[in-house]
A = this chain, B = another copy of it.
Amino acid sequence: MIIVFKQGAAQTDIDYVQRKLTEFGFKTNVSDNNGRVIMGAIGDDRALREKPLFTMPGVEKVVPISKPYKLVSKDFKRTETVLDIKGIKIGGGNVVVMAGPCSVESRDMLFYLAERTSNAGAKILRGGAFKPRTSPYAFQGLGEEGLKYLREAADAHGMLVITELMDVRDMDLICKYTDIIQIGARNMQNFRLLKDLGSVRMPVMLKRGLSATMKELLMAAEYVAAGGNNEIILCERGIRTFETETRNTLDLSAIPVLKSMSHLPVVADPSHGTGRRDCILPMSQAAVAAGADGIMVEVHNCPEEALSDGDQSILPDDFDVLMKRLNIIANTIGRTLNI
C-alpha cells in the first residue's frame, strides 16, 4: 500500500499514520517528492484494504500495490488452468461451445436441440429450469422436470449439462443433474452463495455482473477458490452502458484482459451480451477471434415461439454455419475448436 499525503501535510499527521501502520503490523518507508510525502507500507495489502486510511489526517490518496485477489491470479499460477470434465477440456487452447435454449420448454424441443447442436460440434448443453424474471408476471421455468430433461438430452448425445443456480436452496437439486453450475450476473456478488460454492465438488461458471469490473469478477472467483473449489470458468456476458440499441454492451476486451490477469478460462455469451439475434453470429465469431476459451449461445428451433428470450436465439441452421466458421477462426489464431 502506498499512502500519498497532501502537499504540505503536517508532520504530526504523517507521524500518526506511520504509527498506525506500524500498529497494523506494516513496515514503512517514507520519501519526499517535491514537498509531497509518500509512504510505502510493506506487508500484505489485503490486511490494510479495509482500514479507513483515506480518512486519516493529511492523506490524499491510498494506492494498493498487491491485488485484492490471489489464488485466481496469474501471479499465483502462471500456467492456464485447464478443466477436464468427463473428458471435455476447457481452457489451454481448447475452444468449447455451450448451446441450447434459454429455458427448457419441453422434452421434445430439448432433445431436438441437443441433437442439432451436438451434431454441429457443441459439447455442452445449456438451458434454464428456473427462470425468475425481471417481471413477476412472466414464465418462471419447468423446475426439476426441466433439469431431468436436460440430463437425459445431454446423456443421449454425449454432452455435458450447464444450468443456472438461482437460489442457494436449490444447490442439491442442481448438483444432482448438472455438470457445471452457472452463476448468473445478478448473483456474481452474492457472497454467501459464493462461499457455499467453494465447498462444492462441481465446476462453476461465474458470469460477470452487469456493473462489475473485471477486478470484481476476479474477486468473486477468489471467494469460490478460497473455499477450495478451483474449477472456475469466467464468463463475459455484457455490461450495462448508456447504449440502448443492444441490451448490454458485450465487452470482448475482457477476454484478453482477464486472461492476462488470471489463469482461469474465459468464455463469452453473445446472446445475453447483445440481446439481438442479428448480433449472435458476428459477436460469436469475434469472441473466438479475440481468444475466448468458449462461447455460450442460445439456439431455438422456433425463436418466435420461445417462452423466454427468443429475440436473442439463433436457428439450428445458423448454428451449423457458425460452428464451421469458428473452427477456422480458432485454427487461425493457433487454437482448437473442441468439436
> Is A290's beta carbon under 8 Å from chain B?
yes
CB distance from A219 to the nearest CB of B (A): 6
| In the complex, the 9 A-B pairs of residues with the closest C-beta atoms, listed nearest first | A52-B310, A132-B191, A211-B211, A289-B289, A286-B286, A285-B289, A286-B290, A211-B240, A282-B290
> Is A65's beta carbon under 8 Å from chain B?
yes
> Is A175's beta carbon under 8 Å from chain B?
no
Partner of A42, one of B31, B246, B333: B31
What residue of chain B has the Cβ atom nearest to residue A140's Cβ? Answer: B191
> Is A202's beta carbon under 8 Å from chain B?
no
CB distance from A44 to the nearest CB of B (A): 7
**4 extra A-B contacts, CB within 8 A, seeds A240-B242, A286-B289:** A68-B135, A209-B211, A257-B278, A282-B290
> Is A152's beta carbon under 8 Å from chain B?
no
Q: Mark A150-162, 1 if CB is under 8 A from B, else 0.
A: 0000000000000
Q: Is the interface of A mostly helix, strand, loop or mixed?
A: mixed
Q: Mark A267-303, 1 if CB is under 8 A from B, else 0.
A: 0000001101111001101111111000000000001
CB-defined contacts of A308 to chain B, threshold 8 Å: 50
Q: Are B211 and A132 in contact, CB atoms less than 8 angstroms apart?
A: no
Q: Contacts A239-B249, A285-B289 known; A31 to B36 CB distance under 8 Å?
A: no
- Taking CB atoms and an 8 Å cut-off, the chain A residues in 296-326 that contact chain B are 303-311, 313, 325
Binds B, one of A92-100, A108-116, A182-190: A182-190
